[in-house]
Structure 1
Amino acid sequence: MSGGIRFDSVTVAYDGNVVLDSLDLTVEPGEVMALLGPSGSGKTTALRAVAGFVRPASGRVFLGGRDVTDLPPYRRGIGMVVQQYALFPHMRVEENVAFGLKAQKVARGEIRERVALALEMTGMAAYARRRPRELSGGQQQRVAIARALAIRPDVLLLDEPLSALDARLRSDMLAELARLHRELPDVTILYVTHDQVEALTLGDRIAVMDRARLRACGTPRELYRAPADEFTASFLGGANLLPVTVGEEGVFLGGRRIKVSGEAPGAAATLCVRPHLVGLGDGPNQLAGTVSEIQWRGSTHRLCVDVDGNRVMADVRELKDPPAHGDSVTLHFAPEDAVLLAAGVTDD
């Protein structure tokens, strides 16, 4: 069965409580689709529906064009890595990696070859004889990935695989996962995360989930630069979301006229501009305000400025003489760096 995943109006409910609401989504063969959203958004439920661990109340799940909704998990040919890794503590690394192959009754000689290849791909060949307790968290995660890859799945499901790791290990493993994807371009990956950096780094496309529904889907660049709504803008990368009014004479933030590229969505709108695109000093779309907070972040300072009661964030290159709390400053941003969103977009 070739790769690719399709959700056809998939709804999942527990005791009448809908946790995934009419999901329509297609993951192309060889694509990495990041399911991004807060806790309770439905992203893990969607992944478990693909794996066969939950049964949809309605709708169908397809793998490689084949309806697998009624198939048990072991007949779907899927590799899966979960947050807790789920390694068998009494087995050595090589035995853990071989587990799925033995369940498939693969010939012993082929098992040895596949285990060796999977451990080599994940950089764990030197640890084949160790037990999980002798490994670091990052090494255990590599073993879990090797076990999933050993069965040569068309579809690989990753459920918050990096959340238990510290920041440095997360960064290293992101690079490793990106490398594995380059080496295995035919494997379709569904990657569940609440971390925007992971989604932006790994996803060919990102599906943003909120309150059991799909809110937006697109490439990282599309969603970051032109988010579909306020939730997507704030969850994917953080944003200044400022209430504006739109009329025949233009766009106004308070009494200031703002120049924005593109068409306005209506009389009441929200102006979206990313903090790193807001500069300090004179320039287009000047906003005068008072510094309410300043944070040093190593290479940058984040200024939080009160502009007529609106909090505007600006991430500027590290300043030798930064403004202090209460100082008056001027901010600016380019018209092409701002996006107008329809105001107050919420679910029914």
Structure 2
Amino acid sequence: MRFDGVTVAYGRTVVLDRLDLTVEPGEVMALLGPSGSGKTTALRAVAGFVRPASGRVLLGGRDVTALPPHRRGIGMVVQQYALFPHLKVKDNVAFGLKAHRTPKAEIPGRVAEALELVGMAAYADRHPRELSGGQQQRVAIARALAIRPGVLLLDEPLSALDARLRSGMLAELARLHRELPDVSILYVTHDQVEALTLADRIAVMDRARLQDCGTPEELYRRPRTEFTASFVGNANLLPVTVTGEGSVELSSPENGPEHRPEGDDGRTARRPLAVPTDTAAPGATATLCVRPHLVGLGVGPNGLTGTVTEVQWRGSTHRVHADVDGHHVMADLRELREPPALGDRVTLHFAAEDAVLLPAGTTGGSS
């Protein structure tokens, strides 16, 4: 599946801007981004529900841009299931097969195969109203798989489920991916956990454009832009100035005068921090990215001294928020019997190898 310079516009409003993206056979590609980023429009362009203003959509090397949806051989699951309430489960699953003019004798076997694949064989004679939300979603997936598509499109398929059901369905989708190694899956979501859990690669969308693309580990451990760092997981993004090879200093806050805490003789902002700087020359401004779970409490390398502004207990961790010379820093700290209190002065630290230096101002919307 390939997007070749696909642009979609409604009047003068461009909702998908020159998308170039390839999904390999058998790959799960997540389109991740906020509302209005263009991810659902991209999926609808593949399905044939919107016609690009320019560019091409290719499936298996074949240009399908002008083909109607029913001739593309695609399975699709939407967030509200779209099951027919008056039809039994088996008849819902058979609907797509009949629409594709599958020989009548083949339909019962294909329906049984699809329901078995999603663990719903025992519910074939029930109506959708007799099923839970998670079960209805499984039936919708079975209906999409019954036609044996080469491409499966999933549009926010878990957003209507509660947290427990969503976790279970994530595991089911991962299992389906293993059992259907030849099916390419395009998965639209705004949920970073879903994308990190399921995807082989993640395409990060914002403002109608593709901002970044890579494996979940690449985007999480070594993001290339501020937008990717903030949207794929949580991140501390601190403005810095490169002072030399392997050395940076925190910049002064953009709003408000510099402040020096009472009794503090050396502001953190003027202490050198040792981080990799091979992507920036001395004197350049940049953004330092450090994930909160890689920030420790107490004296250590690359110390940041600040004042605690908030403490959140999250079960296995405490998230400590601190003001470090006007900059907001988060630390996810495990097994704290006595977490710091609001107003406490604390020192946080991080290792050089856990930091990534990003180009300043890469917050999205770039070409």
Using the size of structure 1 for normalisation, the TM-score is 0.97
Out of 28-37 and 256-265, give the one that drifted further.
Answer: 256-265
- The C-alpha deviation readout for 1:80-105, integer Å capped at 9, x for no partner, is 00011110010000000000111122
Q: Which residue of 2 aligns with 1:252?
A: 249
CA distance in 1, matches of 2:58, 2:196: 26
Q: Structure 1 residue aligned with 2:37, among 27, 41, 52?
A: 41
**Which deviates more, 260-269 or 133-142?**
260-269
Alpha-carbon contact 2:206-2:365 (below 8 Å) kept: no
Residue 263 of structure 1 is matched in structure 2 by 278
SS of residue matched to 2:272:
strand
How much does 1:283 deviate?
1.2
Please tell me the residue identity of whatever aligns with 1:294: V
Residue in structure 2 matched with residue 56 of structure 1 by the alignment: 52
* Residues 1:293 and 2:293 aligned together: no
Shift of 1:262: 4.7
Aligned pair 1:147/2:143, yes or no?
Answer: yes
Aligned AA (1:335)? A
Mean Cα deviation higher: 264-273 or 333-342: 264-273
Contact 1:304 1:313 in 2 (8 A): yes
Compute the displacement of 1:15 (Å): 1.4
Map of 2:365 onto structure 1: 347
Deviation at 1:256, TM superposition (A): 1.5
SS at match of 2:182: coil
Cα deviation, residue 318, structure 1: 2.8
Distance 2:21 2:279 in 1: 29
Match of 2:341 among 324, 328, 346: 324
2: CA distance, partners of 1:309 / 1:101: 61
Question: Offset at 1:261?
Answer: 2.6
* C-alpha separation in 2, matches of 1:104 and 1:320: 62
Alignment of 1:56-135 (within 5 A): 56-135=52-131
TM-score (norm 2): 0.92
Distance 1:308 1:104 in 2: 64
The answer to whether residue 330 in structure 2 is matched with residue 313 in structure 1 is yes
Q: Which runs of 5+ in 1 are unaligned?
A: none
Q: Please identify, of 248-257 and 172-181, the stretch whose mean Cα deviation from structure 2 is larger.
A: 248-257
* Whole-angstrom distance in 2 between the partners of 1:176 and 1:22: 34
Give the Cα separation in 1 of the matches to 2:127 and 2:278: 60
In structure 1, C-alpha distance between the alignment counterparts of 2:193 and 2:170, rounded to whole Å: 9
Residue 186 of structure 2 corresponds to which residue in structure 1? 190
Q: Deviations over 1:140-194 (max 9, x none)?
A: 0000000000000000000000000001110000000000000001000000000
Q: Is the 8 A contact 1:246 1:264 kept in 2?
A: no
State the percentage of identical aligned residues: 78
Indicate whether 1:171 and 2:155 are aligned: no
1:95-136 Cα distance to aligned partner (Å, 9 max, x none): 000001111221223111111011111011111111111111
Offset at residue 227 of structure 1 (A): 0.7
Question: What CA distance in whole angstroms lies between the structure 2 residues aligned with 1:248 and 1:32?
Answer: 41
Give, in whole Å, the separation in 2 of the partners of 1:213 and 1:304: 32
- State the SS of the aligned residue for 2:36: coil
Contact map agreement 2:297 2:333 (CA 8 A) in 1: yes
Provide Cα deviations, 1:39-75, integer angstroms capped at 9, x if missing partner: 0000000000000000000000000000000000000
Counterpart CA distance in 2 for 1:257 and 1:277 is 19
Which letter maps to 2:333? V
